[in-house]
Amino acid sequence: MEHDRVVTLPTDIDLSVASYTELVSVSVHAIERFKSKSNQLRETFRIWGDGNLGYITAILLKKLYPNTKVIVFGKTLYKLSRFSFVDEIIQIDSIPEYLKIDHAFECVGGKGSQHAIEQIIEIINPEGSIALMGVSELPIQINTKIVLEKGLTMIGSSRSGLKDFEKTVALYRQYPDILNQLALLKGKEFEINAIEDIITAFEYDISNAWGKTVLKWNI
């Protein structure tokens, strides 16, 4: 591996937490793209998704935009309760009729992403921006009529590169409490000594509704 492919981590970092830095860097990349392509309204950010990606994105937005209000929309109340650091949480079946938004981050993914995008484009203001981050394996429908009428910008992001990893690690150093918040995502840790251990870990992960399952490879 070339030396310019390596990013140095803080020496005191919990390697279990560092193991999902790639996902954090994806969120960093999405926020950077959003910043360069959206309008300059920054009073409030709305995040759809109460899972891992939504949680990470909320942490980063609160650090990068400390004067901006962050509201998280989700389906499951016990997951939303983890977002104690944001300004407000709203269940998706209880969205106030009067609510309007300028920008949204879609972190739902899967079949639920269609409903999330539908909600967003219905209440977003004209010329607003939508960062699409959730991955759906199946095609979903989008009401392009409203997208065109409102002149919306949709920004897709699901990958990251070297600069995003560097910025992520720089944020770890600048805001050490980010690592404490990310540690709440850590689920069960499995030591992998044989193929059977991998199967056990994956079976656990399928049924795990919150957090990241960590694999420690001893092979």
pLDDT in tens, 51-86: 999 999 999 999 999 988 999 999 989 899 999 999
- Per-residue pLDDT at 111: 84
Q: How far apart are CA 183 and CA 167, in angstroms?
A: 19
Q: Own/partner pairs for 143-149, CB < 8 Å, 24+ apart?
A: 143/118, 146/121, 146/122, 147/121
**What's the pTM value of the predicted model, to 2 decimals?**
0.90
149 phi/psi in degrees, rounded to 5: -60, -40
- Per-residue pLDDT at 54: 94
**Helices 21-37 + 162-174 axis angle, to 10:** 100
Taking 70 as the pLDDT cut, the residues of the chain under it are: 1
Q: Residue 86: which of 107, 55, 109, 108 has the closest Cα?
A: 55
Angle at 44 between CA 40 and CA 50, to 5 degrees: 125
By CB neighbour count within 10 A (0-12 exposed, 13-18 middle, 19+ buried), where does 105 fall?
buried
Q: How far apart are CA 68 and CA 50, in angstroms?
A: 19
Q: How far apart are CA 30 and CA 54, in angstroms?
A: 12
Cα dihedral 131, 134, 157, 66, rounded to 10, equals 50
Q: Which residues contact 48 (CB under 8 A, 6 or more apart)?
A: 54, 73, 74, 92, 104, 105, 106, 107, 108, 116, 119, 120
- Per-residue pLDDT at 73: 94
By CB neighbour count within 10 A (0-12 exposed, 13-18 middle, 19+ buried), where does 210 fall?
middle
- In this structure, the strands spanning 101-106 and 124-132 are parallel
Q: Which residues contact 157 (CB under 8 A, 6 or more apart)?
A: 26, 29, 30, 33, 34, 131, 132, 133
- Per-residue pLDDT at 212: 87
- Per-residue pLDDT at 1: 65
Structural domains of the chain ordered from first start: 15-156 (3.40.50.720), 187-218 (no CATH)
- Per-residue pLDDT at 37: 84
